[in-house]
Structure 1
């Protein structure tokens, strides 16, 4: 079946655009020019762009900047055009027409193609609201003159990225909070289980399994705090700086009104930029936020690896925890079950760490008044947030919340741990303790057996000083 086209024009001439598409000439050129990855921007970016256009139409209309237009003997009022733009933007904010945002994030021009994609889709939909079809020869609402009024790619794209990140922030923090709560619940459940601590992957003094899980929970909580703090800089918006930060072609009241309107429409706490030039030049707020996501990722890799270690075996590994079996583990070894949720979390966080490197490299690649790498910064930030939310929720629901302790195995390893002699240092001294540990390991005997045989302690002293639960409470054993 032959696809039908309509002819659209831009400053370079005519372009064939799919007949049913809401985008126009500049978007179509970008589709043809940037056939790079097959990727599309995330919904958070589309939402951010749409809410900017919605707010701009309202603000500019309130400043009486929309002029009436004569077309085919009819007068279309400026107010009607502004209202049509707002209606079209509202539809996008409700999730409609997201399939019309088709430009690859690996592109050029600081995101001009993304901006024009948004402008053209909203303009064509607004014109439909005014009674003009997609293939109408003349249409009242123009993508540049009206939808993009008082705006530049250079201030809309970084503002959309900031808004998109804030739009998903609560969802991200909720995912982390859910994981932290599940780990804290397991910490309480496992608190009576005393096991061998391990440093350098070698035996160390005892800890409680609950203490290990409590530390995991607290680490995740700290990352919630760090990410929330890093997001504060994203609330500062440079919208109204237009092309270079001067605010050329924007009303003097535009910046302040835009921030207030965006705050109302988005229900986000937003702030005016105290220096529009800095907001145009620097991507450091976005790089800082990405760094907080990367910091979380490296810690989740550590926690996932601990889950893998503690559940290793089960016959020939540590086997101190048991993970829920969610799928067969091997195509050749019957009965094998792998820690797939922990492995998934590892891979997801490796992706986030790689995304952060891209954001950092793109962030330092700006020159003078503009950073042209913004599209890939936005894509990687939104992907990182999406991957973290999905991976953490999945790991929590299918692994962390259902993990079981193998108390018998944990306590069995502890009984063989010669490093328990550390608690005797204040009584028998380090040298005798080393002697005891060496002999216990060589003869595969317990520390208690050796110290009693050597006469270093009485049975009563040994029982008191080798109380493993007391060791997990710290202090000096006497």
Structure 2
């Protein structure tokens, strides 16, 4: 059985069982892009925004209380996990998010109609635009829901960063006494401890952690009540403040109205700031993964100073080969996040005049980056870093076979003579101390050389 619904394009048959309507159905036909549906948290966020708006309109006496109450009940169903299968629109869509906004309006309207004793599709009882979307536009609803969704993802990433930082600090403390060779430009440099090397990883991650927290503060400014372009057309003048207050109470996030609603509607550079910081975290993670791959390389013919856990066979043809698959997945997720940042940057720049029409791809890629980073940090720590350990014997071996003592010796004999001894060490294959003695450096001084 079907019902006929109408929009500006014409008529369309909609299944009687459907809570979505003609707008969502057309979008489903038009935007078969990713084979994905809207993120679950995004669906809930849309319902939370719609609930806040219904409560705002009721408080401002511009929406009949019985209709507002029915809309709130419908929103609570969605917030509680019901009707999610009725959100049928691909997250990548033209129209600046109108299709997802209307999908929400239609589902909420039809559920509210049922609560008022009507039949789905009878929009004379509760109308998707006139009632559910009252005082709103896609251009303030969709970005506000997107920001709320991103804020929900932040604690998940922060928890994984805490896990990573704690693990790195523990490793740093444990291996402070294990000395190894430091390298610059992949060549022998001077000594440091394994603990100090790992502590530097902790430091850069903690710095990235704080950057992301700072960037998320910009998400707390929302343009609800600005409607189409930020002028507040068709919305009560007290709508922005009232809606932000109600949303604060509902979600616990300290939402405030945009300081300039027109600016808040047309300019979305806050997403670029957040994406840049996610990218920077990805770069730092990838650098750490690269270091661990290099330092654990071999295991017999490479550097071999670190040992990482064997997780799976590394080859279908070479028996016993184990690859650094966990550092490799960190690299690949980092590459994806970096690519997402480029997409987001282009979308932020491409906004024209009073609206940026490309927020669907911005949110899609931001949410993807949050997911990649959150999950890959977990697997990096759990499947690699927790069981990471140095090979003290190999560390000492590489250190003794290096020319790193030349730097300490140069304080006494000067740069040029120390450089000559270093060069002779490489040629002779002797260790540095032996070469220094052959060059006439007093044995007492050679014994005093330290890393």
Match in the other structure for 1:38: 35
Number of residues of Structure 1 aligned to a counterpart in Structure 2 = 451
Match in the other structure for 1:464: 448
Q: Name the SS of the counterpart of 1:109 in structure 2.
A: coil
Task: Give the superposition deviation at 1:174.
Answer: 1.4
Task: Give the superposition deviation at 1:139.
Answer: 5.3
Which range moved further: 348-357 or 449-458?
449-458
Match in the other structure for 1:47: 44
Alignment of 1:210-221 (within 5 A): 210-221=195-206
Check if 1:62 corresponds to 2:59.
yes
Q: 1:48 to 1:444 in 2, by over 3 A?
A: same
Residue 259 (structure 1) aligned to one of 233, 241, 244: 244
Query: Would the aligned equivalents of 2:101 and 2:142 in 1 still touch at CA under 8 Å?
Result: yes
Match in the other structure for 2:24: 27
Task: Give the superposition deviation at 1:13.
Answer: 2.7
Q: Aligned equivalents of 1:93 and 1:245: distance in 2?
A: 27
Task: Give the superposition deviation at 1:108.
Answer: 1.1
Q: 1:341 to 1:139 in 2, by over 3 A?
A: farther
Query: Would the aligned equivalents of 1:44 and 1:382 in 2 still touch at CA under 8 Å?
Result: no
Query: Would the aligned equivalents of 2:113 and 2:122 in 1 still touch at CA under 8 Å?
Result: no
| 1:420-475, Cα deviation, whole Å (9 max, x unpaired) | 2111111011111011111111111111112223331333x32222x22xxxxxxx
Match in the other structure for 1:340: 325
Query: Would the aligned equivalents of 1:191 and 1:208 in 2 still touch at CA under 8 Å?
Result: yes
Q: Aligned equivalents of 1:450 and 1:414: distance in 2?
A: 15
Which range moved further: 419-428 or 214-223?
419-428
Check if 1:272 corresponds to 2:257.
yes
Residue 234 (structure 2) aligned to one of 249, 255, 259: 249
Alignment of 1:426-445 (within 5 A): 426-445=411-430
Query: Would the aligned equivalents of 1:196 and 1:203 in 2 still touch at CA under 8 Å?
Result: yes
Task: Give the superposition deviation at 1:21.
Answer: 2.5
Q: 1:178 to 1:64 in 2, by over 3 A?
A: same
Query: Would the aligned equivalents of 1:193 and 1:407 in 2 still touch at CA under 8 Å?
Result: yes
Unaligned runs of 5+ in 1: 67-77, 469-478
Residue 88 (structure 2) aligned to one of 81, 84, 102: 102
Which range moved further: 415-424 or 25-34?
415-424
Query: Would the aligned equivalents of 2:109 and 2:123 in 1 still touch at CA under 8 Å?
Result: no
Q: Name the SS of the counterpart of 2:354 in structure 1.
A: coil
Match in the other structure for 1:472: none
Check if 1:400 corresponds to 2:385.
yes
Check if 1:91 corresponds to 2:77.
yes
What is the TM-score of this pair, normalised by structure 1? 0.91
What is the TM-score of this pair, normalised by structure 2? 0.97
Match in the other structure for 2:105: 119
Task: Give the superposition deviation at 1:123.
Answer: 1.2
Q: 1:20 to 1:396 in 2, by over 3 A?
A: farther
Check if 1:155 corresponds to 2:146.
no
Match in the other structure for 1:371: 356
Residue 12 (structure 1) aligned to one of 4, 9, 12: 9
Q: Aligned equivalents of 2:443 and 2:57: distance in 1?
A: 88
Q: Aligned equivalents of 1:241 and 1:221: distance in 2?
A: 37
Which range moved further: 317-326 or 124-133?
124-133
Q: Name the SS of the counterpart of 1:205 in structure 2.
A: strand
Query: Would the aligned equivalents of 1:132 and 1:139 in 2 still touch at CA under 8 Å?
Result: no
Q: Name the SS of the counterpart of 2:13 in structure 1.
A: strand
Q: Aligned equivalents of 2:122 and 2:100: distance in 1?
A: 24
Q: Aligned equivalents of 2:348 and 2:108: distance in 1?
A: 29
Q: Aligned equivalents of 1:241 and 1:226: distance in 2?
A: 29
Q: Name the SS of the counterpart of 2:309 in structure 1.
A: coil
Query: Would the aligned equivalents of 2:87 and 2:103 in 1 still touch at CA under 8 Å?
Result: yes
Q: Name the SS of the counterpart of 1:8 in structure 2.
A: strand
Match in the other structure for 1:171: 156
